[in-house]
């Protein structure tokens, strides 16, 4: 099982580094430096409205963000889950009951009636968007 860590939500961005930003409402919110994310592991972050998100970086370097709350248990643990892929789609498996959640759509792969929130994520370097991963 991977260990999640918490990242500071007030990043300082030296020149040449990339920042991960999430779309919250109608504004982009800088969460952390891309270098703070480890491929294959999750981190939890707290948004200004008190919502917890789970951030992931897949092995190809693409960032994803979903709600951190496991809808089956209510626990804020999805950042501690294991990453994998099914039919070419990235997912995280809850560390508690092992349900898998698609990182792009938030859909539970084991129960079609359950979803978690997803967030649009972008990578910004020196004030310019480098890459955006849209939630489905």
Residues 91, 31: Cα–Cα separation, whole Å: 21
Residues 38, 55: Cα–Cα separation, whole Å: 10
Q: List, for residues 4-22, the tens digit of each pLDDT value.
A: 444 444 444 445 689 999 9
pLDDT higher than 70, residue 101: yes
Q: List, for residues 39-87, the tens digit of each pLDDT value.
A: 999 999 999 999 999 999 988 889 999 999 999 999 999 999 999 999 9
Tokens of 61: 């370097």
More confident residue, 21 or 133: 21
User: Coil, strand or helix: which one is 88?
Assistant: coil
Task: Check: CB of residue 92 under 8 Å from CB of residue 67.
Answer: no
């Amino acid at each position: 099982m991977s260990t999640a860590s918490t990242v500071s939500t007030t990043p300082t961005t030296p020149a040449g580094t990339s920042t991960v930003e999430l779309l919250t409402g109608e504004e982009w919110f800088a969460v952390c430096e891309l270098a703070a994310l480890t491929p294959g592991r999750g981190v939890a972050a707290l948004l200004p409205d008190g919502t917890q998100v789970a951030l992931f970086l897949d092995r190809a370097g693409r960032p994803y963000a979903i709600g951190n709350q496991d809808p089956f248990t209510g626990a804020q643990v999805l950042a501690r889950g294991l990453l994998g892929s099914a039919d070419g789609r990235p997912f995280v498996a809850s560390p508690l009951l092992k349900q898998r959640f698609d990182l792009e759509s938030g859909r539970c792969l084991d129960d079609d009636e359950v979803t978690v929130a997803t967030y649009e994520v972008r990578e910004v370097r020196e004030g310019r968007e480098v890459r955006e991963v849209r939630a489905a």
